[in-house]
Amino acid sequence: MNRAEQREHTRRTLLRESRRLFAAQGYAAVGLAEIVRAAGVTKGALYHHFDGGKTALFRSVLEEVQQEVAQAVARAADAEDDPWEQLLAGCRTFLASAADPEVQQIMLLDGPAVLGWNEWRALDEAASARHLAEALTSLIDAGILSPQPVEPLTRLLSGAMNETALWLASSSGPADLADAQAALTRILEGLRAA
């Protein structure tokens, strides 16, 4: 393995092990010593790859989780031909993805707490809110949704889905995800043009 491959291997190992630890224990409960021990590297190696230390490492893990969720949403939407069904499939997939305890811990619980609300929102915007706004704009332009300002609608729907994902984290009912997806579908149906 050459030096570039070794560096990338070390970086990927740090991301994988810290993600596993953050998901299982939460950011606050995980120390740097535990991360480097699990990754089999030194603290110097961690700081070489993530010069902001634990917070920079967490930011990279969060970005990775957000990208994975966004990719799952995009795959679900792309599997549908009809633009309306694309929106529904994407939103349902977001809720299903966000119901995963690992995603909840990293993306929804620790993300805003560790990075602060403004930075977390900027990352969320880059990962998913922009795509939601684009989908809503297309549906409005096509006359499928009633004409309305896209920015507040995007924020309302994104906030509702994030809050529902947090609720799913503490719910225990076997039908809660399906019920949440059905409720979201009813909300979205109310936005359709007459």
Dist CA 27 CA 105 (whole Å): 9
For domain 1-49, give its CATH number from 2.40.128, 3.40.1130, 1.25.40, 1.10.10.
Answer: 1.10.10
Instruction: Say what the pLDDT of residue 59 is.
Output: 96
What residues pair up with 192 in beta bridges, in sequence order? Answer: 145
Per the prediction, the chain carries an average pLDDT of: 93
Dist CA 71 CA 97 (whole Å): 10
**Inter-axis angle of helices 150-170 and 83-98, to 10 degrees?**
40
> Taking the mean position of all CA atoms in its chain, how far away is CA 119?
14
Q: Assign domain 61-193 to its CATH architecture.
A: Orthogonal Bundle (1.10)
| All structural domains of the chain with their residue ranges | 1-49, 61-193
Instruction: Say what the pLDDT of residue 8 is.
Output: 94
Percent of the chain exceeding pLDDT 70 equals 100
Measured from the Cβ of residue 51, the count of other Cβ atoms closer than 10 Å reads 8
What residues pair up with 145 in beta bridges, in sequence order? Answer: 192
pLDDT band at 190 (very low <50, low <70, confident <90, very high): very high
Q: What's the Cα-to-Cα distance from 90 to each of 80, 111, 113, rounded to whole Å?
A: 10, 22, 26
pLDDT tens digits along 76-125: 999 999 999 999 999 999 999 988 889 999 998 999 999 998 999 888 88
184-189 average pLDDT score: 94
pLDDT tens digits along 17-69: 999 999 999 999 999 999 999 999 999 999 999 998 999 999 999 999 999 99
pLDDT tens digits along 112-152: 999 998 999 888 888 888 889 999 999 999 999 999 999 99
pLDDT band at 172 (very low <50, low <70, confident <90, very high): confident
